[in-house]
Chain A
Amino acid sequence: MAKLAGFDGVEIHGANGYIIDQFLRDGSNQRTDPYGGSVENRMRLLNEILDAVISVWSSDRVGVRLTPENSFNSMSDSQPQQHFGYFIEQLSTRQLGYLHILQGDMMTKVSLLDYRALRDKFSGSYIANNGYDLQKAQTALDNGDASLVAFGLPFLANPDLVRRYKEQLPLNPVDFDTFYGGNEIRNMRISPVSSLRAIKRSDARKETQWNDESFPSYLTKLPRPAHAPCLHPCMQSR
């Protein structure tokens, strides 16, 4: 379907406690059949998925995202450095487009693993993620810790993040209230220097295609997600 839609490639979501991650990490996988037990078995599902996806896409258009130590969604593993070292060595044999790693634990804000060691096991492009800002990203690239850097929160608040970093412009603060659901208004601003596009609330609602009644409005009022990295530099700028 993704190819039909016209995407340039696909990323297999093997991270954050969803099904592939549930198989990879032994905190959630206690199977005794060929899909559980040893590292080889726990990786079996991911391998089968990759076999299938690479039959549709060329392998350089396929990426994989992993989170070796993220406890989000009740995840845990007995030996993440060793187990993910194995998974990444195996992935390295497939000529994938990239390996994308969320480094650290989003819940505890701690990062204990040696990510450079994991990165060095992968022969292709490595996308580093979690809490990066301009400075940290430049350093990571200069040190060879990553080939590319992924930014989450800063991109939500700043559509033109590339320009803002390049020209060292101030950043918009992150607005948690607009994360989920239909409250986009405040994130529609483009930049402080070019013309601001203010979209009236009523226009924004008209623009959506979906049926309003199905939208669970409580989503816009959810408390701040526990995993949001509160200390991210973009949240302190004003």
Chain B
Amino acid sequence: MSKKLFAAVQLGSLKLSNRMVMAPMTRNRASQQGLVSNMMIEHYQQRATAGLIIAESSPVSAQAVGYPNTPGMFNTEQAASWAPLIESVHAKGGHIFAQLQHCGRISHSSMQLDNALPVAPSAIKADGQAVTYTGMLDYQTLAP
């Protein structure tokens, strides 16, 4: 069988050890303030043999948040909390990209600052329910 999957590949200026990518997967294990937890460090470090890891979605602002316990990317405290995770992946020869996220309408006012309604291009409500700290709640229709 072809061995291409396990061959090194150049991605721009990065040399990846193989062509297997770990897809980004939200796991809701960060703190409520969006800080990386020890369990997350363990999780990514264990998988650092992947040629490239794409980390789970990180909201880029408080408004970008849509789910509970996702690791943030909008203040220096959060950035600092990622550093040991990244170091542990690098120590094993892995590479890791952040995934920058803004949930838009897939959020809920209870997850937003001052209970504001989430933002989106148009006032078209999503079907289904948002995952919040207090349970599954219907998505809301946003102001135009």
Quick one: given A148-B9, A209-B31, A210-B37, are A8 and B124 in contact (CB under 8 Å)?
Answer: no
Tally of chain A residues near chain B (CB < 8 A) = 80
Could you mark each residue 29-43 of chain A with 1 if its beta carbon is under 8 Å from any beta carbon of chain B, else 0? Answer: 111000110000000
The residue among A27, A30, A35, A216 with the most chain B CB atoms within 10 A of its own CB is A216
Q: Is A4 an interface residue when CB atoms closer than 8 A count as contact? A: yes
Q: Are A210 and B86 in contact (CB under 8 A)?
A: no
B143 lies within 8 A of chain A by Cβ: no
**By the criterion CB–CB under 8 Å, are B82 and A6 in contact?**
yes
Q: Does A172 contact B (CB under 8 A)?
A: no
Contact B39 A184 (CB under 8 A): yes
Interface centre among A8, A151, A159, A184 (most CB of B within 10 A): A8
Q: Is the CB of A2 within 8 A of B100?
A: yes
Are A165 and B30 also in contact (CB < 8 A) when A11-B24, A29-B121, A155-B23 are?
Answer: no
The answer to whether the Cβ of A63 comes within 8 Å of any Cβ in the partner chain is yes
A160 to chain B, nearest CB (A): 6
Task: With both chains docked as a complex, state the minimum distance between the C-beta of B121 and any C-beta of chain A, in angstroms.
Answer: 4
Whole-angstrom distance between the Cβ of B63 and the nearest chain A Cβ: 10
B1/A36 in contact, CB under 8 A: no
Collect the chain B residues with CB atoms within 8 Å of residue A6's CB.
82-83, 86-87, 90
Main secondary structure of the interface of A (DSSP, over half): mixed
The residue that A97 contacts in the complex, of B11, B46, B105, with Cβ under 8 A, is: B11
B100, A10: Cβ atoms closer than 8 Å: yes
Which residue of A has the minimal Cβ distance to B128?
A74
**Using a CB-CB cutoff of 8 Å, which residues 62-94 of chain B contact chain A?**
64, 66, 68-69, 73-76, 78-80, 82-83, 86-87, 90
**Cβ 8 A contact of A22, one of B1, B35, B120, B134:** B120
Q: Write out the residue numbers on chain B whose beta carbons fall within 8 Å of the beta carbon of A63.
A: 54, 97
Point out which of A5, A11, A63, A216 has the most chain B C-beta atoms below 10 A from its C-beta: A5
Please judge, given known A-B contacts A2-B73, A5-B79, A208-B38, whether A141 and B31 are in contact too, CB under 8 Å. no
Q: List 5 A-B contacts (CB under 8 A).
A: A5-B82, A18-B66, A148-B52, A151-B21, A204-B39
Residues of B at the A interface (CB closer than 8 Å) are 1-2, 4-6, 9, 11-14, 16, 18-32, 35, 37-39, 42-43, 46-47, 49-52, 54-55, 57-58, 60, 64, 66, 68-69, 73-76, 78-80, 82-83, 86-87, 90, 95-106, 119-122, 124, 126-128, 131-135
